[in-house]
Amino acid sequence: MIDYHLHLWSHDDSSVGYRLDQVAQYCEEAARHGVNELALTEHLYRFVELRATVGDFWNRWGHEPTAPLMADYFDFHARNSLEEYVAFAQLAKSEGLPVKVGMEVDFYRDQMDDVAALLSQYPFDVLIGSVHWLNTWQFDDIDNAAHMAEWRTRDVDQSWADYSLALEELAGAHVVDVLAHPDVIKVAGYVAHDPAPLWERMADAAAQADLSVECSSAGWFKPVGEQYPATGFLDRLVARGLTFTTASDAHGRERVGARADDLATLLEERGVHELASYEGRRRTMVPLRVTP
């Protein structure tokens, strides 16, 4: 199996530096769960090069109550060198650790061409794409009271529709290889009355862009209490013949490879027996499970 969504730093840290022993520990923990291929996918917003590329985009929505929170978020996180990160990931790979050089890329409306130009300068193996905010609202920051308060004032169905549109635009930008946690909008437990039409739209967008889709255990550890994507969404993705990666979205060793076997079972029950593996942004299919 694979785990194609791993972070070196927790959200509470601006940076903890780069340590080969940390990556080796990730690989050891992954192996305990039957995972033999990993991708390091730190958040792109962690890096000064990204901020220089997209600028202070939150100023476009400065009237929103969450705009100052977004400004603070980037001030705290965007402090690291993308060059150093990529060099470290390459070093880990060259040392024989079973890792790929990856990145988690957020959606920046009307700026994805610029983001693509930045990313093209580096030798990535895989880019996973995410929607973590709508304008300046970080709807999935479950530890931030101000962001969570927005859920109690906004229309849930409209929030889901806005998220779906953002994910569709991300897919259509052709910047990433994989859609990460494709229904993360549900993370806090707020679900549209009828998500099925939005599942259809997002599945169509992924299929039209020929993207792989991440099947992630992270949602089992969140308030929503279910994997990404939901079973009804997953069924639609399988029906369209999409390929899949599996992931934990771990920010520390203790969650690497978490519930990988349960993810494999979900896919096998739907006739999926291969996963998408990436090298130099090229996809090949590998067995879902590795035979001992």
Q: Is the pLDDT of residue 292 over 70?
A: no
Question: Per the structure block, which two tokens stand in for 231?
Answer: 């079973």
CA pair distance 99, 27, nearest whole angstrom: 8
Q: Which residues pair with 103 in a beta bridge?
A: 42, 127
Q: What is the pLDDT of residues 85-107, one digit of tens each?
A: 999 999 999 999 999 999 999 99
Question: Does the pTM of the predicted model rise above 0.95?
Answer: yes
What is the DSSP track for 124-178?
Answer: -SEEEEE---BTTB-TT-TT-HHHHHHHTTS-HHHHHHHHHHHHHHHHHTT--SE
User: What single DSSP character describes residue 116?
Assistant: H
Other Cβ atoms closer than 10 A to 95: 11
Q: What's the mean pLDDT in 263-278?
A: 98
**What's the pLDDT score for residue 48?**
97
Domains contained in the chain, CATH given: 2-287 (3.20.20.140)
CA pair distance 65, 145, nearest whole angstrom: 13
Q: What is the pLDDT of residues 167-216, one digit of tens each?
A: 999 999 999 999 999 999 999 999 999 999 999 999 999 999 999 999 99
- Cα 9–chain centre separation: 14
Other Cβ atoms closer than 10 A to 16: 11
Q: What is the pLDDT of residues 13-32, one digit of tens each?
A: 998 889 999 999 999 999 99
Question: Per the structure block, which two tokens stand in for 218?
Answer: 């992270």
Q: Contact, 116 vs 177, CB < 8 A?
A: no
Q: What's the mean pLDDT in 123-137?
A: 98
CA pair distance 43, 39, nearest whole angstrom: 12
The helix/strand/coil state of 112 is helix
Q: Is the pLDDT of residue 289 over 90?
A: yes
For residue 229, whether the previous peptide bond is cis, meaning omega lies within 30 degrees of 0, is: yes
**What's the pLDDT score for residue 131?**
98
CA pair distance 290, 39, nearest whole angstrom: 17
Within 8 A by CB and 6+ apart from 287, the residues are 273, 274, 275
**What's the pLDDT score for residue 15?**
85
**What's the pLDDT score for residue 165?**
98
**What's the pLDDT score for residue 16?**
82
Q: Which residues pair with 190 in a beta bridge?
A: none
What b/e string do you get for 72-93 counting C-beta neighbours within 10 Å, with b at 16 or more? ebbeebbebebeebbebbeebb
Dihedral sign of CA atoms 134, 136, 141, 146 in order: negative
